[in-house]
Amino acid sequence: MKFFTSSLVCIICIWMVKQHVTCNDVNILLTPDPQESVNVSTSSYFVDLARNFTQMMTSLQSSIEYVTKRVQTLEARAASDRHEIDRLQSVIVNITAGRKEVAFSARLSVTKEHMTDGTTVVFDQMISNYGDAYNPRTGIFTCTRTGLYLFSVSLEGHYTDGQGDIPAAITMDGTHLGYLVSDPIKSGQDVQGAVTMVTQVREGQRVWVEVYYRNDVSVFRTFSTFTGVLLS
């Protein structure tokens, strides 16, 4: 194309010299063929468009990667926020419960057999133990704060081998405060005996539940519980 144009210019120059053609006329002659110019600009338009498209795709891809990372970060943060909220709720529950300071509930997780007069019933499974005053290994509540307390006990007796009754007492430092009896009288029968007491307890005094009067007593699991709470 260039060779063709140069040759054409040479021929035209010779022709111009011969014909005395003006510079203005040459300009008109050298203007590119409109058909050709459209083709050239059309192809460069598409090259431009393709480049723009590639750029757009690249930037779109990095945007997607950014958004994906951001979503992952936010998801992780939401999970850790959820965890933090749960923790704070537990702190609030503990603070609210902590105002009362002393409250516990425990139950028997396994049936206790062959208990004799004076044996402590050890409620081993803690339901709650605010103030940590009840010991699930010994079954003994040791008062950490002088005040008015409510104690409640229920014991389940199950009739087998000709007997099933359980006489028991809420006991403070060896003194029986309140009695209960569970007295099933027929084979396979279950009876739940219960007692609730309100009493003043001084710091250091100990309260527990013990079997009395009878020997070889069995206390049935799950349905037997011991609760204590500081009222004021």
Q: Work out how close the CB of 207 gets to ligand NAG at its nearest, in angstroms, rounded to a whole number.
A: 21
- Give Cβ neighbours of residue 119 (< 8 Å, ≥ 6 apart): 210, 211, 217
Kindly write out the interface string for residues 82-111 of this chain, putting x where it contacts ligand NAG by CB under 6 A and - elsewhere: -----x--xx--x-----------------
Tell me the window of 42-50, 164-172, 180-188, 224-232 that interacts with ligand NAG (CB under 6 A): 42-50
Q: Work out how close the CB of 115 gets to ligand NAG at its nearest, in angstroms, rounded to a whole number.
A: 30
Q: Which of 39, 62, 80, 215 binds ligand NAG (CB under 6 A)?
A: 39
Whose Cβ is closer to ligand NAG: residue 39's or residue 116's? 39
Residue 16, classed as helix, strand or coil, is helix
Residue 119's alpha-carbon distances to 57, 62, 74, 128, in angstroms, are 82, 75, 59, 24
Q: Which of 5, 11, 14, 45 binds ligand NAG (CB under 6 A)?
A: 45
What are the backbone dihedrals phi and psi of residue 59, each rounded to the nearest 5 degrees, phi first? -70, -35
Whose Cβ is closer to ligand NAG: residue 35's or residue 175's? 35
Closest CA to 180 of 171, 189, 188: 171
Does 48 bind ligand NAG (CB under 6 A)? Our answer is: yes
Q: Work out how close the CB of 205 gets to ligand NAG at its nearest, in angstroms, rounded to a whole number.
A: 23
Which residues between 111 and 140 bind ligand NAG (CB under 6 A)? none
Size (the chain), residues? 232
Inter-residue contact 149 to 136 (CB < 8 Å): no
Residue 228's alpha-carbon distances to 129, 148, 206, 209, 222, in angstroms, are 9, 11, 12, 11, 18
Q: Work out how close the CB of 150 gets to ligand NAG at its nearest, in angstroms, rounded to a whole number.
A: 20
Q: Work out how close the CB of 95 gets to ligand NAG at its nearest, in angstroms, rounded to a whole number.
A: 9
Q: Work out how close the CB of 94 gets to ligand NAG at its nearest, in angstroms, rounded to a whole number.
A: 4
Region at 126 (left for phi over 0; alpha for psi -120 to 50; beta for the rest): beta
Whose Cβ is closer to ligand NAG: residue 25's or residue 48's? 48
> Total residues contacting ligand NAG (rule CB under 6 A)?
11
For 82-213, list the strands marked E by DSSP. Answer: 103-107, 112-115, 125-130, 134-135, 140-142, 147-158, 166-172, 175-182, 190-201, 206-211
Q: List residues near ligand NAG by CB under 6 A.
A: 35-36, 39, 45, 48-49, 52, 87, 90-91, 94
